[in-house]
Amino acid sequence: MSKVLYRHNVSHDLPRAVAGDGAWIIDDQGRRYLDASGGAAVSCLGHSNEAIRKAMVDQVESLAYAHTRFFTTSPMEEFADLLVDAAPDPLTKVWFTSGGSEAIEAALKITRQYFFEIGETDRRFIVGRRQGYHGSTTGALSAGGNAWRRRIFEPILLETTHHIGPCYPYRHMRADETLEAYGRRTADELEAKVAELGPGNVAAFMAETVVGSSIGTQPPAPGYFKRIREICDRHGILLILDEVMCGMGRTGTRFAFEEEGVVPDMCALAKGLSAGYAPFGALLIAEKIHRAIENGSKTVMHGHTFMGHALGCTAALAAQRYIDDNNLLEAVRQRGAYLERRLKECFGQHPNVGDIRGRGLFWSLELVADRNTQAPFPPAAGLSMKIKDTAMENGLICYPMNGVADGRQGEVVMLAPPFIISEEEIDLIVERLSQTLDTVLAANAKAAA
Ligand SMILES: Cc1ncc(COP(=O)(O)O)c(C=O)c1O
């Protein structure tokens, strides 16, 4: 028996992945799995990208690691240039991490240090959103508002974090409301929360630009983030956008916030940033924040041993250059439109699919027991795990997630295929997903009868 403490279902046997071939993962029995979710929206360039492999081998042959207290490296400098050049003003600096949660922890601590440097030391509250997910470390979990993921840890989470409702039209928009009016009403919850906490006490608002797994590829309502930005500016609050899952081209633009017409004060990135070839993350930071530190303590009171690792920076540099050189943002938009069309054709009338939503190559089906009432399946049915397992038996990797409706019930199946996916492979994703849902839902109906 394995000595590894597995993450999900700790004693569950897993196939052993040994190779990659484009959008496919191959196990040690020679079985091929079409990776329609990039793991968790990570492997955006598939599993056998030669340019990234070669860049990493070249780098490790010269130098793998140099501590950031003593040295900078060319991959770190070149990647910072690439990222900052791609980002709009005033995002002018980048802080490197080994993943998404670390980028969020850095955002939380740099927020606090910023207000310390400018003498606004009462500002300590972070406002996040219910159903938001920002990572599993203590600070990131505190900022997130997913009740199920927080449940066991509530007693040790940060008391300085507060939450407003998500922007989730399928479950919360009123029948007599437009999408814009709903977005404004939801954004205005921030105004009310700031009034409740005291404007001079609030430091930052944190949200995923397009919500990933905890609602299921949910884009914001039009105007939502413009209104949020206005409220933040009016009260001197920082806007932190979490694009760990939705950023770096996943939704068809390099930064998902480009479509919202706002620029955050910090933006957390990971997952697709290095396309999964190395553990890697980053936090883009606005000019005024690093100026405040430069003119104050001069040192960021934070850091990790592996930050800015040369292999992570090399992988990210090669991945992002590959995306640019091969015009893959355009491919995301085109293939994304094809995926949307195929999903709507296949599942648009499905009795157990309540909503089909997403953007770019980032799509979800929200499953319901009853389309008319939007009633979710009971959590005890355990649909997510069954869908994941059955999909794998059918040679498909998708990302089912439970608790989306309210942190306890509600299921989505999330798709985030690589940017190099072909139309034939998209057809296969839809076909295998359809087979999978037929099998699982039929077994579920039989068990419930
Ligand atoms: C939106 C979002 N933020 C943060 C994280 C945390 O990233 P990591 O798992 O790399 O720590 C995730 C991970 O799924 C995420 O989806």
What average pLDDT is seen over the chain?
Answer: 97
Tell how far the Cα of 98 is from the centroid of ligand 1, in angstroms.
11
Q: Which one of 303, 325, 347 terminates a domain? A: 325
Do residue 42 and residue 92 come from a single domain? no
- 110: containing domain: 52-325
Residue 335 pLDDT exceeds 90? yes
Do residue 220 and residue 369 come from a single domain? no
Residue 8 pLDDT exceeds 90? no
Q: If you average pLDDT over residues 366-382, what whole number do you get?
A: 96
Residue 103 pLDDT exceeds 80? yes
Tell how far the Cα of 244 is from the centroid of ligand 1, in angstroms.
6
Do residue 416 and residue 431 come from a single domain? yes
Q: If you average pLDDT over residues 318-334, what whole number do you get?
A: 98
Do residue 229 and residue 333 come from a single domain? no
Give the dihedral of Cα atoms 367, 406, 108, 120; nearest 10 deg.
140
Tell how far the Cα of 355 is from the centroid of ligand 1, in angstroms.
24
Q: Which one of 301, 325, 349 terminates a domain? A: 325
- Name the band, by pLDDT with cuts 50, 70 and 90, for residue 10: low
**What pLDDT does residue 11 have?**
65
Tell me whether residue 300 is in a domain: yes
Q: If you average pLDDT over residues 111-116, what whole number do you get?
A: 98
Tell how far the Cα of 445 is from the centroid of ligand 1, in angstroms.
34
Do residue 252 and residue 332 come from a single domain? no
**What pLDDT does residue 2 have?**
85
The DSSP code for 407 is: S
Q: Which atom of ligand 1 is nearest to the CA of 101?
A: 11
Q: Which atom of ligand 1 is nearest to the CA of 270?
A: 10
Q: If you average pLDDT over residues 184-203, what whole number do you get?
A: 98
Give the dihedral of Cα atoms 150, 101, 406, 229; nearest 10 deg.
130
Q: 66 CB contacts (<8 Å, ≥6 apart)?
A: 73, 310
Instruction: Tell me the whole-structure pTM to 2 decimals.
Output: 0.98
Q: Which atom of ligand 1 is nearest to the CA of 132?
A: 1
Amino acid at 225: F
Pair 135, 144: CB distance under 8 Å: yes
**pLDDT, tens digit, 9 for 90 and up, residues 390-448:** 999 999 999 999 999 998 999 999 999 999 999 999 999 999 999 999 999 999 999 98
Tell how far the Cα of 193 is from the centroid of ligand 1, in angstroms.
25
Tell how far the Cα of 130 is from the centroid of ligand 1, in angstroms.
16
**pLDDT, tens digit, 9 for 90 and up, residues 205-256:** 999 999 999 999 999 999 999 999 999 999 999 999 999 999 999 999 999 9
Q: How far is CA 341 from CA 76, 105, 177, 182, 447, in A?
A: 40, 38, 26, 26, 33
Q: Which atom of ligand 1 is nearest to the CA of 213?
A: 16
What total number of domains does the chain contain?
2
User: Among 134, 241, 273, which residue has the most ligand 1 atoms within 8 Å of its CB, making it the best to mutate?
Assistant: 134
Tell me whether residue 319 is in a domain: yes
Q: How far is CA 208 from CA 136, 281, 437, in A?
A: 15, 15, 28
Do residue 394 and residue 251 come from a single domain? no
Tell me whether residue 10 is in a domain: no
Q: Which atom of ligand 1 is nearest to the CA of 243?
A: 1
Tell me whether residue 440 is in a domain: yes
Question: Residues enclosing ligand 1, CB less than 6 A?
Answer: 40, 99-101, 104, 133-135, 208, 212-213, 242, 244-245, 270
- Name the band, by pLDDT with cuts 50, 70 and 90, for residue 16: very high
Residue of the CA atom closest to atom 5 of ligand 1: 135
User: Among 244, 267, 404, which residue has the most ligand 1 atoms within 8 Å of its CB, making it the best to mutate?
Assistant: 244
Residue 45 pLDDT exceeds 70? yes
Residue 155 pLDDT exceeds 70? yes
Do residue 258 and residue 389 come from a single domain? no
Tell how far the Cα of 72 is from the centroid of ligand 1, in angstroms.
26
The DSSP code for 145 is: B
Q: Which residues of 50-85 are buried (b: 16+ CB within 10 A; e: fewer)?
A: eebeebbeebeeeeeeeebeeeebebbeebbebbee
Strands (E), 260-344: 266-269, 281-286
Tell me whether residue 33 is in a domain: yes
Q: 23 CB contacts (<8 Å, ≥6 apart)?
A: 34, 35, 36, 46, 47, 417, 418, 420, 421, 425
